[in-house]
Amino acid sequence: MAIEKVGFVGLGIMGAPMAANLLKAGFEVTVWNRTAARADPLIALGARVAGSPAEVSAASEVTVSCVSDSPDVDLVALGPGGIIEGAAAGSAYIDCSTISPAVARKVAAALGAKGVEMLDAPVSGGDVGAKAGTLAIMVGGDADVFERCLPVLQAMGKTFVFCGPSGSGQVVKLCNQVAGALNLLAMAEAITLCRRAGVDPAKMLEVVGAGAASSWMIQNLGPRAVRGDFAPGFMVELMQKDLRLVQETSAETATPLPGAALVQQILRTLEARGRGKDGTQAIVDAVASLAGD
């Protein structure tokens, strides 16, 4: 039977456009956000608003969440008025947040005891991908549940990879953040060197972005950084949260990750200056400051 009713919890920079794309795909969407006013644009598109995550899940065959951190997922899924209180046996929960793999497995086990299947399905692509519906989605859980929920994922993204059992999606997302963090640093160092050598960094990005050294960061965040546009597609403080999860998993698995640790420390200089809510492209200012600029 085709899925018709989808719930969405968490309407931030990523969640709001993801929920909008579900509406555009024809799903009946019920939403909840801690700050209720964030739902207004979605109401205009036809969404229904619920009073709690439990009300969202009670009205939905599949409930999706996209919130900030592991404790937030724990709260909206298992806390008072949480998804677990409203979700019916046989329904599914897809969490698109980036959280600890261990917490993903904990939440999946608690919901599973009630007959509710969970997919951990963190996303990559930033606000650009969320708006365009082109996110890459890495999924952990049960393969049959993944296949059943694929129409929901297809409304929000373009690439979907089933990675393995519960928690696997989160592990892959942390690997994504390691690669993304190091690409951020490469972008910032290239821009800083180019400027200090007296060459227009916009020209450098144009040609590097067309060659073997290109990356999503070079093509999308590099031009913003050069223009001094630090509006967040993804905040410094959220990247720092992800890198904390990376370091926790690094410690659990005895895996040395010196590059990721370096980026975390460089971004910490931005947090120390009160710039935690800037976009991650602000790393270019942190690297420039090391050169005395």
Domain shared by 60 and 197, yes or no? no
Rg (C-alpha) for the chain, rounded Å, is 20
* Phi, psi angle pair for 65, to nearest 5°: -130, 150
Spatial separation of the C-alpha atoms in residues 215 and 268, rounded to whole Å: 23
Domain shared by 157 and 21, yes or no? yes
Domain shared by 193 and 152, yes or no? no
Please give the average per-residue pLDDT across 225-243, as a whole number: 96
Task: Check whether 158 has a pLDDT greater than 90.
Answer: yes
Domain shared by 147 and 195, yes or no? no
CB burial readout 264-287, b (16+ within 10 A) else e: bebbeebeeeebbebbbbbbbbbb
Q: What is the pLDDT of residues 279-288, one digit of tens each?
A: 999 999 999 9
Domain shared by 135 and 182, yes or no? no
Domain boundary among 165, 198, 223: 165
> pTM for this one?
0.94
Q: Are 259 and 181 in contact (CB under 8 A)?
A: yes
Helix (H, G, I), strand (E, B) or coil at 222: helix
Task: Check whether 168 has a pLDDT greater than 90.
Answer: yes
Residue given tokens 């899925």 in the structure block? 3
**Active-site choice (106, 173, 241, 277):** 173
CB burial readout 117-154, b (16+ within 10 A) else e: bbbbbbbbbbbebbbebebbbbbbbbeebbebbebbbe
Spatial separation of the C-alpha atoms in residues 180 and 258, rounded to whole Å: 14
Domain shared by 97 and 208, yes or no? no
Which residues on neighbouring strands pair with residue 117, listed in sequence order? 92
Q: What is the pLDDT of residues 62-95, one digit of tens each?
A: 999 999 999 999 999 999 999 999 999 999 999 9
Range of the domain at 226: 171-290
Would residue 173 show up in a list of annotated catalytic residues for this protein? yes
Domain shared by 148 and 205, yes or no? no
CA angle 58, 64, 70 (to 5 degrees): 110
State how many domains the chain has.
Answer: 2
Domain boundary among 110, 140, 165: 165
Task: Check whether 1 has a pLDDT greater than 90.
Answer: no
